[in-house]
Structure 1
C-alpha cells in the first residue's frame, strides 16, 4: 500500500507503490486532452525524478526532475538521457510542467503533467500499451546540477493509459466464494516443475452463477518459487472419478492433462496483481447446466537451487455474485505452441522476431454482432522483450489489439484495455514476439522452463462464443 505521509493534491484514477517507504505515484490520464497528470512522492528532501524509458534504463529516457528549495519554491526541469550519464536539460522544448509541490515529514511531493505525445525528439511517447517507468532521487537539492543517484533508483513496466488498479479484498468479503488450490503439496526438488490438480465445480452451484473477481492465493514464503498459475477448462465431454481427482506433477498423467488443456480461463504470472475484478457488465460463468464441469489448476514452480521439503497451498479464489450479469466472459489465446519444435531462437541476437498468424477461417465462430475484448495478458520468459497483436480486417491492419512493447518478465500484469475493442466475424490476427539473446551462448528452444521460451497473448472478452 501507499506509504507517503503526504495527502495527494487531488483524487486520482490510479495509484501505485513504487517502493515501500521510498516512493509512491498517483496519476490520471485524459484521453480527450491526450495528457497525463502525475503526483510523485519520494522519501527525501533532495531532488526527485520520474521518467519514461524506451528499454527500462537511463539510455534514451525522458525525465521530469524537480525539487523544493528552502523557501518552498518548486523547481522542475525537462531532461533527456543520451546514455547512462546525468541527463541533460532538454534543449528543444520543455514538455514536463510542474503544478504544485511541497516538502513534509522528510518527503518531497510534486504534481506535474505532460502530453502523451509531445512531438519532441528528446521526449518518449506515452503510448497505449505497456510503458517503462523509471524513478530516481538525490539526498540534497542541486546547487548547479543534479547529483548522481547511485542506488537510489528503480523501474516498473506497466500500462499508464490502461492500468487496472487491483481492488481491495474487503470489497468482496460479503460474497460467496470457493477456492481452487493445492493442499500442502510437497514440491519436488527440481529446477522446473509443473503441478496440476483437477477440480469439479462445487455441487452447491446447481444454477448458473457469475464469478466477478479472482484472488490469487500466493503463499508469501513461496512467492519466489512460483512463476505462473493457470486455470484450464476441461473438455466438456470428459468425466472423472470424483473420489480420486488427479493432483501431482503434470507429466504424471499426460492423458488426463491433455483433456484439461483446451481453454485457458484465468492466468497469473510473476509480478502480477493478486486481485482482479471483472467489468460490471460481465462475469465468468460457473455451475448450472454449463458444459464445463471440471477445471484444472496448473502451477509452475521454479526451484533453481532444487530445495527440498517445500510445501505449498497456493491457488485461486473465486468470488461469486448474488446476481447474474449481462454477459459471460470468454478467453482468446494467440501465439505459438509451447513445444520445443515451435521456437528456436539463436544466441547473441538483439531483436529476434517470431510472428504467428490467426487466419480468417479460425474466427468464423465470432458472431455477426461481434465480441468485446476487455483485457490482455502477454506472457513470455526471460528473453522476451515485446509481445503485440494486431487486428487485420479486410486485408488491412486496423489497430493493435494490445501492444505489449516493452515486455518485462518481472512484471507480468493483466492489462485492462484503455477502451474495449470490438472484434468481428472474419477478423484475422498477427501476433509478434521479440526476444533478446545477447546473454546466451546456445539456442533457446520453446518449452516450459524459464530458460526456454514462450509466446502467448491471452485476451478476455464477452459475450462468450460457442467453441
Structure 2
C-alpha cells in the first residue's frame, strides 16, 4: 500500500461521523495528511453491523499526498478494523485490519460524457448475451459463444450505439469482452453453435477471432454512441453472418457458483447513415513470435507495418 491515498472513517456510538485524510509511506500505519485535508464526509450511519459513509474528494487536489483520480481504471484498496478509535484517549489510533482487506479495479471517472440510455428509447435493438453461464472457479477464464446474425433485419441497418450489459453482481468478475465478426467463409451448424471455454472451441471459431465489432475492458464506458455520420452495419445481405462473443473472467478468489449473463446490445437507428463504421487495429498479435521479450531487457521495440490498401 506504499503511496496509497487513503480515506478512513467510522461512526461512533453517539452516531457522529469521523473521517480522516491519510497517506501511506510504506506498509505500516498510514499517517494523517499533513499538507491539506481533501477528503470530506457528507453523511454516515451504522446499522445492524454495517457502516456506511458517503464522502467526497476533488479529482485532482494538487496535493503531493493525494493520488489523482484519472479517466478509466483506478486501482482501489479497502480494509476495515473491528474497533473504533477512541479520540478521547491519548495515543488511540486505528487498529490493524489483519486479513480484512482487498482490492478492486474500478472506473471512477468517465473518458467523456456517455449518452444516457433514454436517448435510444424506442429504437430497435439486438443483444449478443450469454445465458446463465456458470463461471469456472479458475483464476482466469475465457469464454466464447457463437451467434448468428440477427434474422429480423431483412435489409441493412445501422447501429447508432452499443451498450455493455454486465450483471451488477458480477462487476468484479468481468475483465474485458470482445465481439468479433466471423470471416464470411466460416460455416456453422445453426442448431448447435459453439458455446464453451474458448480453448475448447478454438478449432471451430478460429476464423472469427480477427475482426472486432466491440471491445470493452474495465474502465470503459458502458454506453458508446457512434459519430452521427456513421453507423455500424448489421443485417441484410452483409457478408458477416456470424459473430463470436469472447469474455474474459478474472476470478482471483476462485469463487464457486457465480452465474453470469454478460453481453452487448446494439441500438439500431431508424435510417441509414452516410457511412458504414469499421475498426482499424494497430499493433501486433499477442503470440510468442511477436512479443517474445528477452529477460532483463531494458527496452523492447515492436515494429508493425500496414499495407497502403488499409487507408484507401
| TM > 0.5 | yes
- What is aligned with 1:321? 268
Query: Quick one: structure 1 residues 194 and 362, their matched pair in 2 at CA, closer, same or farther if it must change by over 3 Å?
Result: farther
- What is aligned with 2:55? 111
CA distance in 2, matches of 1:194, 1:76: 41
- What is aligned with 1:261? 209
- What is aligned with 2:159? 210
Q: Quote the offset at 1:296 in angstroms.
A: 3.5
Higher strand share: 1
CA distance in 1, matches of 2:101, 2:188: 54
Is the 1:66–1:76 Cα contact (8 Å) retained in structure 2? yes
- What is aligned with 2:19? 76
Report whether the alignment pairs 1:101 with 2:101: no
CA distance in 2, matches of 1:167, 1:291: 30
Query: Quick one: structure 1 residues 65 and 206, their matched pair in 2 at CA, closer, same or farther if it must change by over 3 Å?
Result: same
CA distance in 2, matches of 1:178, 1:71: 53
CA RMSD, 1 decimal = 5.1
Q: Which runs of 5+ in 1 are unaligned?
A: 1-57, 304-309, 366-465
Is the 2:38–2:61 Cα contact (8 Å) retained in structure 1? no
Deviates more, 1:162-171 or 1:75-84: 162-171
Query: Quick one: structure 1 residues 98 and 328, their matched pair in 2 at CA, closer, same or farther if it must change by over 3 Å?
Result: farther
- What is aligned with 1:427? none
- What is aligned with 2:93? 145
- What is aligned with 2:3? 60
Q: Secondary structure at the match of 1:140?
A: coil
Query: Quick one: structure 1 residues 102 and 227, their matched pair in 2 at CA, closer, same or farther if it must change by over 3 Å?
Result: closer
Q: Quote the offset at 1:114 in angstroms.
A: 3.2
Query: Quick one: structure 1 residues 134 and 217, their matched pair in 2 at CA, closer, same or farther if it must change by over 3 Å?
Result: closer
Query: Quick one: structure 1 residues 101 and 357, their matched pair in 2 at CA, closer, same or farther if it must change by over 3 Å?
Result: farther
Q: Quote the offset at 1:173 in angstroms.
A: 9.5
| Residues paired across the two proteins, number | 287
- What is aligned with 1:252? 203
- What is aligned with 1:90? 33
Q: Quote the offset at 1:76 in angstroms.
A: 3.3
Is the 1:200–1:242 Cα contact (8 Å) retained in structure 2? no
Report whether the alignment pairs 1:127 with 2:76: no
Matches within 5 A, 1:380-395: none
Q: Quote the offset at 1:148 in angstroms.
A: 1.2
CA distance in 2, matches of 1:292, 1:125: 43
CA distance in 2, matches of 1:88, 1:290: 61
Superposed CA deviations along residues 47-80 of structure 1, whole A, max 9, x for unmatched, are xxxxxxxxxxx11112122334455555433221
Query: Quick one: structure 1 residues 141 and 171, their matched pair in 2 at CA, closer, same or farther if it must change by over 3 Å?
Result: farther
Is the 1:233–1:265 Cα contact (8 Å) retained in structure 2? yes
CA distance in 2, matches of 1:191, 1:71: 43
Q: Quote the offset at 1:96 in angstroms.
A: 1.5
- What is aligned with 2:254? none
TM-score (ref. length: structure 1):
0.46
Matches within 5 A, 1:193-204: 199-204=147-152
Q: 2:278 aligns with which of 307, 326, 330?
A: 330
Query: Quick one: structure 1 residues 166 and 213, their matched pair in 2 at CA, closer, same or farther if it must change by over 3 Å?
Result: same
Report whether the alignment pairs 1:276 with 2:222: yes
Query: Quick one: structure 1 residues 170 and 59, their matched pair in 2 at CA, closer, same or farther if it must change by over 3 Å?
Result: same
Superposed CA deviations along residues 75-124 of structure 1, whole A, max 9, x for unmatched, are 43322111111101223x1242425333253534242323514142x332
Q: Quote the offset at 1:286 in angstroms.
A: 0.7
Is the 1:231–1:295 Cα contact (8 Å) retained in structure 2? yes
TM-score (ref. length: structure 2):
0.64
Q: Quote the offset at 1:125 in angstroms.
A: 2.7
Is the 1:66–1:110 Cα contact (8 Å) retained in structure 2? no
Query: Quick one: structure 1 residues 142 and 325, their matched pair in 2 at CA, closer, same or farther if it must change by over 3 Å?
Result: farther
Report whether the alignment pairs 1:159 with 2:107: yes
Q: Secondary structure at the match of 2:225?
A: coil
Matches within 5 A, 1:162-201: 162=110, 176-178=124-126, 180=128, 199-201=147-149
Q: Quote the offset at 1:132 in angstroms.
A: 1.5
- What is aligned with 2:89? none
